[in-house]
Amino acid sequence: MTSFSLDPRDDLPLYAQLARQLREAVTAGRWPAGRPLPSVRTLVGLLKVNPQTVLRAYRELEEEGLVEPRQGQGTFVRTEAVEAAAEARRRELLEDIERLARQARDLGVPEEVIVQAVRKEKGES
Amino acid sequence: MTSFSLDPRDDLPLYAQLARQLREAVTAGRWPAGRPLPSVRTLVGLLKVNPQTVLRAYRELEEEGLVEPRQGQGTFVRTEAVEAAAEARRRELLEDIERLARQARDLGVPEEVIVQAVRKEKGES
Amino acid sequence: MTSFSLDPRDDLPLYAQLARQLREAVTAGRWPAGRPLPSVRTLVGLLKVNPQTVLRAYRELEEEGLVEPRQGQGTFVRTEAVEAAAEARRRELLEDIERLARQARDLGVPEEVIVQAVRKEKGES
Amino acid sequence: MTSFSLDPRDDLPLYAQLARQLREAVTAGRWPAGRPLPSVRTLVGLLKVNPQTVLRAYRELEEEGLVEPRQGQGTFVRTEAVEAAAEARRRELLEDIERLARQARDLGVPEEVIVQAVRKEKGES
DNA sequence: GTGGTCTAGACCACG
DNA sequence: GTGGTCTAGACCACC
């Protein structure tokens, strides 16, 4: 149900793109605790990249404490960490939005136009 | 009146940090057409960086058409390009804000909290 | 009376954790010669691990000569091997302590503080 | 003045062996802040290993906050972090010694023999 | 089957 | 010169 896509032309390294997508999937609550994430080999096959690239993405998540690998079984979500990560992400997003909004205002964008942008997606779900 | 600061630990390369700060200064209307931007030598002295770093930042701005070097006189703002650049920046900011707002909503942040963030800085200018 | 606990996140593989705990139990004189160690099936049930994991731990102990399986009866401690194993373990512990103490001293820990640590547990047994 | 040695037969992966040695050198105060650590290529030449192996060791130290790489310049010690790391290491060593001492005592080693081991190296400096 | 390590070597971006 | 990324593929340990 969850799909991944990598773009070699992106500024972000492939492993970081993959890590980001995995992080979002995990944070959003897909991949319940009992089911392992897709195996390294599976992703290698799907994404046509080197095992190292996938491994590095998984290592990233592991270092963040989001996920734990178990020898011979696969990589599993550490549910305790998920909500904390989501909360951190929310704070970070709000700060970023604040900062960008300030920049936009400084460049003369009327506040209501910015608010409009924030509300824009509302009707599209 | 305009100062620059570089952080070697930032993800952005030094030259890009500098280019960004110069770009913002120019876009915001500092450095009127008659006054040259600081010389490479000056910035090298101020920022304690490699001349290549400063040169590359200036080259960036030049390629964007924002500034033009004049032999023996220094580097000057191309006023006709400033408004176009500012407009492009505004569009970019609004798109970024939209994208981040969507992500925040997906993580369960109520829309009004996001709008709040956008309005937050109102009284602080 | 003897319980085992495995931590999948530990650096040590599960089978090694189990082997270590069994080894310590045997060396410490629990499991007298007449009583068999818990069966593979029992441990699998208790620890919720793969039978291979338990088998490998038992194989380890067997190869060290500490225990011997008897067809249809279970796995028994080889009492004559226990004292030799304990002695080896003692030597190993002293070497480790020596090594760590040297490292601590190199980092500036006063020798008396280290001695203190060694004596610390005295009254707690 | 500082030399490194890797043993492929060791249980520890090569990158971890190297990371440990670098960590100790940094913690012990060699490699003052102004001088970069040996470059990846230098160590590759010295140790006859793959660049990836060296890189992974350096990445480890970076993630611990001990060291920071600067593009095009080399890898530098973060002096602020060194003392904190040394203190953490001291605590860890004392805990390990305590634990091992307890085990030794449980196996019947007289406390004075353990204390002797701790003091053993005294006259060798 | 799973994840983990290592090699040999190319290519890029930065200063 | 520096560090960073990626590839293609081998080998190992664990469950």
CA atom of A43 to C1′ atom of E6, Å: 21
Return d(Cα D24, Cα D30) in angstroms, integer. 9
Do A70 and C13 make contact, defined as CB atoms within 8 angstroms?
A: no
Do A68 and C8 make contact, defined as CB atoms within 8 angstroms?
A: yes
**Token pair belonging to C108:** 């500036």
Position A125 pLDDT exceeds 50: no
pLDDT tens sequence across A38-56: 999 999 999 999 999 999 9
Determine the distance in angstroms separating the CA of A70 from the nearest CA of chain C, rounded to an integer.
Answer: 7
Position B99 pLDDT exceeds 80: yes
Chain C and chain A touch, per 3+ beta carbon pairs within 8 A: yes
Q: What residues in chain B have their Cβ under 8 A from chain D's Cβ atoms?
A: 8-9, 13-14
Do A70 and C8 make contact, defined as CB atoms within 8 angstroms?
A: yes
Look at residue B33 in the predicted model and tell me its pLDDT: 79
Dihedral angle computed from the Cα positions of residues D78, D84, D89 and D94, in that order, rounded to the nearest 10 degrees: 170
Instruction: Provide the mean pLDDT of chain B.
Output: 89
Residues 6 or more apart whose CB falls under 8 angstroms from that of C2 comprise C25, C30, C31
Return d(Cα A5, Cα A25) in angstroms, integer. 13
pLDDT tens sequence across C79-111: 989 999 999 999 999 999 999 999 999 889 999
The model's confidence at residue B125, banded by pLDDT at 50, 70 and 90, is very low
What is the CATH number assigned to the segment(s) B14-78? 1.10.10.10
CA atom of C104 to C1′ atom of F12, Å: 34
Q: Which residue has the tokens 């009004």?
A: B112
pLDDT tens sequence across C19-70: 999 998 898 888 887 889 999 999 999 999 999 999 999 999 999 999 999 9
Look at residue A1 in the predicted model and tell me its pLDDT: 54
The model's confidence at residue C125, banded by pLDDT at 50, 70 and 90, is very low
Nearest CA in chain A to B119: A111
Look at residue C29 in the predicted model and tell me its pLDDT: 81
Residues of chain D with pLDDT under 50: 125
Q: C107 and D89 in contact (C-beta within 8 Å)? A: yes
Asked whether strand F has any atom less than 7 Å from the CB of C56, the reply is yes
Phi, psi (degrees; rounded to nearest 5) at D77: -75, 140
Determine the distance in angstroms separating the CA of C69 from the nearest CA of chain D, rounded to an integer.
Answer: 25
Positive or negative torsion for Cα C96, C97, C101, C104: positive
Return d(Cα D1, Cα C30) in angstroms, integer. 51
Position B123 pLDDT exceeds 70: no
Residue D69 to residues C108, C115, D46, D62, Cα–Cα distance (Å): 28, 40, 20, 8
Look at residue C16 in the predicted model and tell me its pLDDT: 95
pLDDT tens sequence across A72-121: 889 999 998 999 999 999 999 999 999 999 999 988 999 999 999 999 76
**Token pair belonging to A3:** 């799909």
Q: Which residue has the tokens 């960590």?
A: D23
Q: Which residues of B touch D70 (CB under 8 A)?
A: 8
CA atom of A47 to C1′ atom of F13, Å: 26
The model's confidence at residue C124, banded by pLDDT at 50, 70 and 90, is low
Q: Which residues of C touch D90 (CB under 8 A)?
A: 104, 107-109
Mean of pLDDT values over B76-100: 93
Look at residue A91 in the predicted model and tell me its pLDDT: 95
pLDDT tens sequence across B1-35: 578 999 988 889 999 999 999 998 898 888 887 88
Architecture of the domain spanning D14-77: Orthogonal Bundle (1.10)
CB atoms within 10 A of CB B113: 13
Look at residue D116 in the predicted model and tell me its pLDDT: 92
Position A30 pLDDT exceeds 50: yes
Domain ranges of chain C: 14-78, 82-124
Count A/C contacts: CB-CB distance under 8 Å: 5
CATH 3.20.20.60 holds for A14-79: no
Using a 7 Å cut-off to protein CB atoms, list the covered nucleotides of chain E: 1-10, 13-15
Strand E contacts (CB < 7 A) among D residues 43-62?
49-53, 56
Look at residue B10 in the predicted model and tell me its pLDDT: 86
CA atom of D50 to C1′ atom of F7, Å: 14
CA atom of A124 to C1′ atom of F11, Å: 51
pLDDT tens sequence across B50-74: 999 999 999 999 999 999 999 989 9
List the chains bordering chain B where 3 or more Cβ pairs fall under 8 Å. A, D
Do A106 and B28 make contact, defined as CB atoms within 8 angstroms?
A: yes
CA D67 to chain centroid = 13
